[in-house]
Chains A and B, each alone.
Chain A
Amino acid sequence: MRRVLIADDSPSNREFLRTVLAHEGWTVEEAGDGLTAVAMATAAPPDLILLDIQMPGADGYETLRALRAQAALETIPIFAITAYAMDGDEQRGLAAGFTAYLTKPLTRRRLLAALS
């Protein structure tokens, strides 16, 4: 079973992502903030991580750095799922090390397209 870790402080967005991915056969784990996500990913590295950018405590970029700093998480796909969609935001995200940068509003179709 493929495992995905979702870090987002919005319960409704976690539910949306959980629903879509569970239907695709993923085992979904959830964290409400970045630090929890780092702890969970360190304990058991998942196959995919979806990170919100704006989160309390460590934001998506800090969380990404903490995750990428670990050898086991260096190369796994980490997606940004974010409402930051101004000019230059995506380039910044990709430059920071996100595998993909998906802007909200995100539809099921766009997410699935990004996963394939």
Chain B
Amino acid sequence: MPPSKEVALLEAAPDAVIEVDARGLIVLVNQSCERMFGYRRQELIGQPIETLVPVAARRGHEHRREVYAAKPVTRPMGSGLSFQALRKDGSEFPVEITLSPLRVGEETHTAAVVRDVTERLSLLAAMRESEAQARLLFEESPVAAWVEDPTTATFLAVNREALRALGCSREEFLALGVATLQPRVEADYEIRSHELNYQGRPARLMVAQNVSDQRRFQEALEEARQRAERASQAKSEFLASMSHELRSPLHTIIGFTELLVDELEGPLNEKQKRFASHIQRDSQHLLTLINDILDLSKIEAGRIELRPETFAARDLIDEALAMVRPQAEAKEIALANLADPELPVEADRMRSKQVLLNLLTNAVKFTPPGGRVYVETGVDGGFGVIAVLDTGVGVPAELRDRIFDVFYQGPGSTGTGLGLAIARRLVEGQGGSIRMEDGPAGGSRFVFTLPLALAALAARRSHPLVLALEDDPSALELLREYLEPEGFALVAAGTVRESLVKALELQPDAIVLDLHLPKGSGWDALAALKNLQETREIPVLVTSVAADESAVRRGAFASLTKPVTRDLLLRSLRQALLRAAE
């Protein structure tokens, strides 16, 4: 027989339903009750209702039952309070209970509808917690914030920072209208508005970031920029007009002197001729001086634009040598270009030539007749090295720092004293360096460096490129002595990181790696090189103080014990290259 409609409804209810008689004994329970309390219904029927109440609350419950019996109406038990209920397994849980009187014959029974509110309470607690957090964040935020009601244009809440910034109390603020606040903050604040519900109404959270410092800073920056631009502009204009004003009279002097020396309007006597040539020589010198000063001023004023391009150092050297050839031949000085044909540099071609020409002019000037001036090249780290050597008088050690100073002139010099100062600035402006040292056969060796065109170097090298991970300058120097005369190009890296970058970038033909670096281990470099697909195939020669064959097991081509002899190094390198080529 199917259950009656009432029974079916009762059994389907999600809440526990319990019928209790006037003595407080359970008469009927539903399925939800069984599930909620963990009893089967047979266990509960006839038991006192306090079975389901925690022991400590039983007495109180009996009392409540009596109070209810005196005035039995449908109402929540304890006016919406939640009570603890007791399961069969002894655990307790919060419940809300609604009571209704039931007329059963002569007796008044009570129907209790019991709802498990565990979940609701924990949700509520979580909500309260998150609300408290939000309130705390709002209140304690270092950014000024308030909540506006958009319909009434009034304020609903304000935080401490907003009050501090405006210098008013919470009451004063909340009494303000939205319209009054706007003009007081817009100059200094950037305000963002967020729609939200506040206490059940749509509202706007306004967040005001103080940007006055930022704006002031930007204004100051802009002003400084404009001032610098004006100053730079003024400097350029000054240079241009100075150049113009100096050239004009010089033109008259040089032009007419030439006419005299050329005897265009009739012959001069010997003395007059000599006088005219004195004027000619010194006016030319004055012109050089003016050009140099302008050049230097332009560099100092940052008005010189360096345009790097890739070119072969050797070509540049050829061109510069051609320009000093007449002076050299007049003194029977031999010129030679010993540059590596495969040394591409990346620099401003014209300015680099100016530097080289200056060094060559000096070399020819200070080399006695019958001497030699030659140019050679090398590689140092990421730089191409160009060296001008002569068999001239040299420069005493104590003067070497000063020769690059503005207006320094060596004894017997006839130049402007600006050439080397300009050269230094041009070289340093391109990231290179310039120095003077003793030549191998007396005389001077002026060396300057320009950035290597690494990509070009890697692309069209005919000399095998060896990358050396070596941080000891003297060990590196030794490697260079060994390798470069044999046609190897050497690039150095001082750290593991640098060696990896260069290996990836340059794709060297071989790598020589010192296993015992103070900073980072050569082992790391080896592991990384063998791990990267792009560098895995490059043969690596490791050097270490003790023979260590484990390096070979870890991918090294060979392990060389220090000190590595020249022969061993070259033989190993060539083997490595052969193997790599196979």
Q: Find chain B residues with CB under 8 A from A108 CB.
A: 255, 258-259, 262, 264
Q: Find chain A residues with CB under 8 A from B248 CB.
A: 10, 83, 104
B244 touches A106 (CB 8 A): no
Taking the closest CB of chain A, its distance from the CB of B353, in whole angstroms, is 16
- The reply on B252 being an interface residue by CB < 8 A is yes
B239 touches A86 (CB 8 A): yes
B251 touches A106 (CB 8 A): yes
- The reply on B240 being an interface residue by CB < 8 A is yes
- Produce 1/0 per residue, A1-15, CB < 8 A to B: 000000000101100
Q: Find chain B residues with CB under 8 A from A20 CB.
A: 259, 264
Q: Find chain B residues with CB under 8 A from A13 CB.
A: 251-252, 255
Q: Closest 3 interchain pairs by CB?
A: A104-B251, A83-B247, A105-B251
Selected contact of A86 from candidates B243, B252, B262, B283, CB within 8 Å = B243
9 CB < 8 A contacts A-B: A10-B252, A12-B252, A13-B252, A20-B259, A83-B251, A84-B243, A105-B287, A106-B251, A108-B262
B264 touches A104 (CB 8 A): no
- The reply on A75 being an interface residue by CB < 8 A is no
- The reply on B256 being an interface residue by CB < 8 A is yes
- Produce 1/0 per residue, B270-298, CB < 8 A to A: 00000000000001000100000010001
A88 to B252, CA, bound (A): 24
Residue of B at shortest CB range from A12? B252
A86 to B239, CA, bound (A): 9
Q: A83-B247, A104-B248, A104-B251 are in contact. Are A16 and B259 (CB under 8 A)?
A: yes
A10 to B264, CA, bound (A): 21
A85 touches B243 (CB 8 A): yes
Query: A-side interface residues toward B, CB under 8 Å?
Result: 10, 12-13, 16, 19-20, 23, 54, 83-87, 103-109
Identify 13 new A-B residue pairs, CB closer than 8 A, beyond the known A16-B259, A106-B251. A16-B256, A20-B264, A23-B264, A83-B243, A84-B243, A85-B243, A85-B247, A86-B240, A86-B243, A87-B298, A104-B251, A105-B251, A106-B255
- Produce 1/0 per residue, B232-254, CB < 8 A to A: 00000001100111011011111
List the count of A-B residue pairs having beta carbons below 8 Å apart: 60
- The residue in B245, B252, B253 that gathers the most chain A C-beta atoms within 10 A of its C-beta is B252
Q: Find chain A residues with CB under 8 A from B243 CB.
A: 83-86
A103 to B247, CA, bound (A): 9
Residue of B at shortest CB range from A111? B255
B259 touches A105 (CB 8 A): no
Q: Find chain A residues with CB under 8 A from B254 CB.
A: 105, 107
Q: Find chain B residues with CB under 8 A from A23 CB.
A: 264
A54 to B255, CA, bound (A): 19
- The reply on B265 being an interface residue by CB < 8 A is yes
Query: B-side interface residues toward A, CB under 8 Å?
Result: 239-240, 243-245, 247-248, 250-256, 258-259, 262, 264-265, 283, 287, 294, 298
Q: Find chain A residues with CB under 8 A from B298 CB.
A: 87
Residue of B at shortest CB range from A16? B255
A85 to B240, CA, bound (A): 8
Q: Find chain B residues with CB under 8 A from A106 CB.
A: 251, 255
A103 to B294, CA, bound (A): 15
B244 touches A83 (CB 8 A): yes
A83 to B242, CA, bound (A): 10
A110 to B48, CA, bound (A): 129
Residue of A at shortest CB range from B246? A83
A105 touches B247 (CB 8 A): yes
Taking the closest CB of chain A, its distance from the CB of B50, in whole angstroms, is 105
Taking the closest CB of chain B, its distance from the CB of A107, in whole angstroms, is 5
Taking the closest CB of chain B, its distance from the CB of A47, in whole angstroms, is 22
Taking the closest CB of chain B, its distance from the CB of A51, in whole angstroms, is 15
B265 touches A107 (CB 8 A): no
Q: Find chain A residues with CB under 8 A from B245 CB.
A: 83
B244 touches A105 (CB 8 A): no
Q: Find chain A residues with CB under 8 A from B247 CB.
A: 83, 85, 103-105
